[in-house]
Amino acid sequence: MPVGGYKLLPIVHEVASATVDGVELTADWNRQFETRVIEDYDSSPLFDLAALSEAESIEWCYGCGRCVPVCPVDLVGEYGPRKVHRKLQMGIDLLEDPDLWLCTTCGNCLRVCPKQVDMIKIMPAAREAAMTAGKEVPAELQGVLEATFKYGNALGQSPRRRSAWTKGAGVPVRDLTKEPGPVDYLFYVEDYWSYHPRGHQAAQAFARILHQLGIDYGILGHEERTLGDSQRLAGEKGLFEMLMEQVVETLDRHEFGAIVTPDPHGFNALATVYPKYGHTFEVLHYTQLLAPRVSELTFTTPLDVKVTFHDPCYLGRHNGEYDAPRRLLEAIPGLELIEMMRCRENGYCCGGGGGGMWLDGHTQSHTSERLSVRRVKEAAETGADVLAVCCPYEVSRFEDGAKAAGVDDRLRVLDIAELLDMALGGPDRVAGA
């Protein structure tokens, strides 16, 4: 019974009394003990959080610690579900704590948690409660939420510029607002392929691949709005629902067989969240559209590169797709695929999910290293020449990370669509098309 100078005393709930070392412990004594504990720690923040819709599982944590080694934020700081639970138990109000904004909703803790403590539901609920209560929201995130509300995209760009990327594609891209009519696939470009300069390059590469495959598709041009999943996870459920209404109203005006998108966050919204509101569409991530048809592509340029691949959390862990991106990479002549130590189900988060894309400053001031920098170092350790990605958030995140890690001279960051396009001969093959 003695452990390190202390005695473990039984909690007497079910029996009238127990005897330890000749001392009788009664149910009364136990009640006094519990009263003292409650007086030492005011755990009301834990109970208040658990009372929020969808956040009840925060109470289920029993401190086993399995989430500790898999949480990407814990690896660069002091975080993780067990620590959040402990702080709440000790009376720290999460709604006013910097921890509120650190979770990327990557889902790796949920994968291993025996109690199914679901941070993907808990953190958005807590963030929403903080916003509703007028608590401080990091300015960088606040700016993005306001831009999304005003312009329908996270980058605060004009909807008129949505299809600007098509000019450099070298192939025709049908804008359904100008050329209406049914298509097999609606290419939902989403924000970072629509507006970010590096996203433009990937979008143009993808258009050239679709062209070679003869796929019938169109885009929504200025009618497209972000699907808003990261804004939802950052706590702005109201904004998400407003966007969803606009998106559904637009989609209902067009005829298409399925939606294809490069953005795992948008894919997640359409595949798992819209149906909960009664809106069901067939949706594919772009790698899922291309993988079954990769044998139809005519590769002309072997790449002779070693490539490692980063699994996007919202394609892999959240939606179970690990193989389609790898099938595409393995089909490229001359390409050698090397896996990182953390891959597939245990892939390390880039830090961009759950609103993390717009919280880098906040995260940096509460951790020792950005998640994207750590991930790029893991990629460089494999000896790869290229870090391949298939999420529009990741090219710019990892390019910045590669510079910060000092490996940008030996590790390029490329979307899988860009790698495929290079092996197909790149823009030159379609010049004049």
Contacts of 121 (CB under 8 A, 6+ apart): 54, 55, 57
- Would you list the DSSP string of 81-97? HHHHHHHHHTT--GGGS
Nearer to ligand SF4, 116 or 295 (CB): 116
Least distance to ligand SF4 from the beta carbon of 72, Å?
A: 6
Nearer to ligand SF4, 106 or 137 (CB): 106
Nearer to ligand SF4, 104 or 268 (CB): 104
Least distance to ligand SF4 from the beta carbon of 106, Å?
A: 4
CA angle 226/230/236 to nearest 5° reads 95
Strands (E), 268-351: 283-285, 305-309, 335-338
Least distance to ligand SF4 from the beta carbon of 33, Å?
A: 24
Tokens of 239: 């904004």
Rounded Cα distance between 298 and 416, Å, is: 16
Least distance to ligand SF4 from the beta carbon of 288, Å?
A: 24
Tokens of 187: 């290419």
Nearer to ligand SF4, 176 or 233 (CB): 233
Of residues 229, 283, 266, the one with CA closest to residue 120 = 229
Least distance to ligand SF4 from the beta carbon of 129, Å?
A: 17
Tokens 């910097």, residue located: 98
Rounded Cα distance between 279 and 51, Å, is: 28
Q: Helix axis angle, 237-251 relative to 139-151, nearest 10°?
A: 30
Nearer to ligand SF4, 65 or 383 (CB): 65
Rounded Cα distance between 317 and 344, Å, is: 8
Least distance to ligand SF4 from the beta carbon of 46, Å?
A: 12
CA neighbours closer than 13 Å in the CB half-sphere of residue 161: 15
Tokens of 123: 């953190």
Least distance to ligand SF4 from the beta carbon of 43, Å?
A: 15
Torsion sign, CA atoms 249, 253, 258, 259: negative
Q: Which residues bind ligand SF4 (CB under 6 A)?
A: 61-67, 70-73, 80-82, 103-109, 112-115, 117, 119
Nearer to ligand SF4, 119 or 307 (CB): 119
Tokens of 391: 């999420």
Helix ranges (H only) for 269-339 are: 286-290, 323-331
Least distance to ligand SF4 from the beta carbon of 113, Å?
A: 3
Rounded Cα distance between 314 and 107, Å, is: 9
Tokens of 29: 């004594």
Answer yes or no: are the C-beta atoms of 321 and 270 closer than 8 Å.
Answer: no
Nearer to ligand SF4, 109 or 271 (CB): 109
Nearer to ligand SF4, 123 or 251 (CB): 123
User: How many angstroms separate the first and last alpha carbons of the chain?
Assistant: 82
Reading phi first (left if > 0) and then psi (alpha if -120 to 50, else beta), residue 235 is in left
Least distance to ligand SF4 from the beta carbon of 183, Å?
A: 36
Least distance to ligand SF4 from the beta carbon of 314, Å?
A: 12
Nearer to ligand SF4, 75 or 207 (CB): 75
Nearer to ligand SF4, 73 or 251 (CB): 73
